[in-house]
Amino acid sequence: RLLIKGGRVVNADCSVDADVFVENGIVLKVGKNLEVPGGTRVVDAVGKLVMPGGIDTHTHMQLPFMGTFAVDDFYIGTKAAIAGGTTMILDFVLDQKGVSLLEAYDKWRGWADAKVCCDYSLHMAVTWWSPQVKLEMAEIAKNRGINSFKMFMAYKDVFMLDDTDLYEVYKNCREIGALAMMHAENGHVIDNEQKRMLELGITGPEGHAMCRPEEVEAEATGRAIMIANQLNCPMYIVHVMSKSSANVIVEARKRGNVVFGEPIAASLGTDGTNYWHKCWRHAAAHVMGPPLRPDITTPAYLMDLLANGDMECTGTDNCTFNASQKALGKDNFAKIPNGVNGVEDRMSVIWEKGVASGKMDENRFVAVTSTNAAKVFNLYPRKGVIAPGSDADIIIWDAEATRTISAKTHHQAVDFNIFEGMVCHGVNVCTISRGKVVYEDGKFTVSAGDGKFIPRSPFCKYVYNRINKRMEDYNPSKVEREPYDGPVYQINKNG
Ligand code: URP
Ligand code: ZN
Ligand code: ZN
């Protein structure tokens, strides 16, 4: 039993001065002068904000990728998440073409269940298409707790699906009540442009940025949304990295499409000028796909869209590689393992660039770091809100304190931090996961396996109420008319 006393409870809709009483991992009461049983542990929150723990919509702990493995595993990665104020991650089952989705699912559960320090859930990547995949997607949505499937328009010959297969996957997503997620970049163009850069003698990380400029992302974003819209399938664009891709999403939403955009800590907190850095290791550390953008006004622009409701959720795409792993591509940028950090720092970066800058208030902060993710991925109101009946995943946030982000002090396994030196207002001082204090004053009280897999059902109302209604329009009716009975021109086969 816990009583969080004297703080200001911040939810997505409003903030109130209230205490929070927690029992058996669940919030029981929110209010003033609560009567609580003797022996209840009191956590002091005077002068602090009490908020729903962050939900990171996009991580890749210990991902096998580009010849190596991401160094933040499910233990270290979720521990770092907790330190930064995130109490749930959504990671990806992501295996090679030809591998059974059910087998891949078991593999990821096997890795994660034993190691996670906070609750987690999974998205499933679909990297190939066949009648078997179709059946397995249905089984996974119905019985394995995954209602979101990620596809790739990039990573040719590895993860990429062409438009014909995407059409089938989207159709299946809609039939099984899942959300389609897209890595939107034109893989064919990237493949050719990589070769061209290398032929020009450009082998460093700047080549990574130059072979996949903004329009490569924007084109694929538009195509993904267009195909999904033909099938009345809801669409979630992961890792929105550029202004032009974000604009495509905004325009589609103006047209009424059911589409969500996910900027990440990296695209909100730093930029692609780093690829031109003279230090190879520094430049390579920023390599991810789609790349960060050299247009330095991009982060503030994406933050405005997030603040004003054009984009909803934030993730990190946390997928970390040490210097020696990045060095697999020291002579060829196309071989640098793609991925950056973020899981620990997302909350602070968004507070600093979003709230401290005056772009959003504390309630919008909770919406974009937690509540909206819970809604889109069918976890609400179990997660994403502090209210009676919700899971007690809660953070105590000191809005006045500052900290300086550094690889020297972060809790992640990786040897570099893309936010190095950033001074952030907004520091997480205490994390409560499943009703238990797991992090306080810089100390952890958590073990591997304390977190649980949280299954998510298909046909999430927040997404599918609109989709189901639209099915009436989706099935058009034909015009009844008398058949044409005039002459028909005869095609002469001999020309
Ligand atoms: O560079 C990235 N984004 N690495 C992780 C895999 C992905 O595409 O999300
Ligand atoms: Zn991706
Ligand atoms: Zn990713």
Domains of the chain, residue spans? 49-474
More confident residue, 474 or 406: 406
* For residues 245-267, average pLDDT: 98
Does residue 184 carry a pLDDT above 80?
yes
Residues 6+ apart with CB under 8 A from 487: none
Please tell me the number of the ligand nearest to residue 220's CA.
2
The pLDDT assigned to 80 comes to 98
Ligand 1 pocket: which of 338, 340, 414 to mutate (most atoms within 8 A of CB) = 338
Question: Which architecture, in CATH terms, is 49-474?
Answer: Alpha-Beta Barrel (3.20)
Q: Which two tokens stand for residue 360?
A: 């959003």
> What percent of the chain is predicted at pLDDT more than 70?
100
pLDDT, averaged across the chain: 98
* For residues 262-285, average pLDDT: 98
Please tell me the number of the ligand nearest to residue 151's CA.
2
C-alpha 60 to ligand 3 mean position (Å): 6
The pLDDT assigned to 494 comes to 78
The pLDDT assigned to 472 comes to 84
C-alpha 317 to ligand 1 mean position (Å): 6
CA distance 383 to 389: 10
Does residue 4 carry a pLDDT above 80?
yes
pTM: 0.97
The pLDDT assigned to 495 comes to 63
Counting from 1 in the atom list of ligand 1, the atom nearest the Cα of 289 is 1
DSSP per position, 23-88:
ETTEEEEEESS----TTPEEEE-TTSEEEEPEEEEEE-TT-EETTEE-SS-HHHHHHHHHHHTEEE
The pLDDT assigned to 370 comes to 99
Does residue 98 carry a pLDDT above 80?
yes
C-alpha 108 to ligand 2 mean position (Å): 18
DSSP per position, 441-489:
TTEE---TT-S-B----SS-HHHHHHHHHHHHHHS--PPP-PPP-S--P
Counting from 1 in the atom list of ligand 1, the atom nearest the Cα of 183 is 8
Segment 413-432, tens digit of pLDDT: 999 999 999 999 999 999 99
Q: Which residue owns the Cα nearest ligand 1 atom 8?
A: 289
* For residues 285-293, average pLDDT: 98
Q: pLDDT-based confidence at 473, cuts 50/70/90?
A: confident
* For residues 211-238, average pLDDT: 98
Does residue 168 carry a pLDDT above 70?
yes
Ligand 1 pocket by C-beta < 6 Å: which residues? 60, 183, 239, 288-289, 317, 319, 338-339
Q: Which two tokens stand for residue 125?
A: 């990547």
Half-sphere CA count of 480, side-chain side, radius 13 A: 0
* For residues 354-378, average pLDDT: 98
Smallest Cα–Cα separation from 451: which of 71, 56, 5?
56
Does residue 272 carry a pLDDT above 80?
yes
Ligand 1 pocket: which of 56, 58, 60, 267 to mutate (most atoms within 8 A of CB) = 60
Asked if 442 and 121 touch (Cβ cutoff 8 Å), the reply is: no
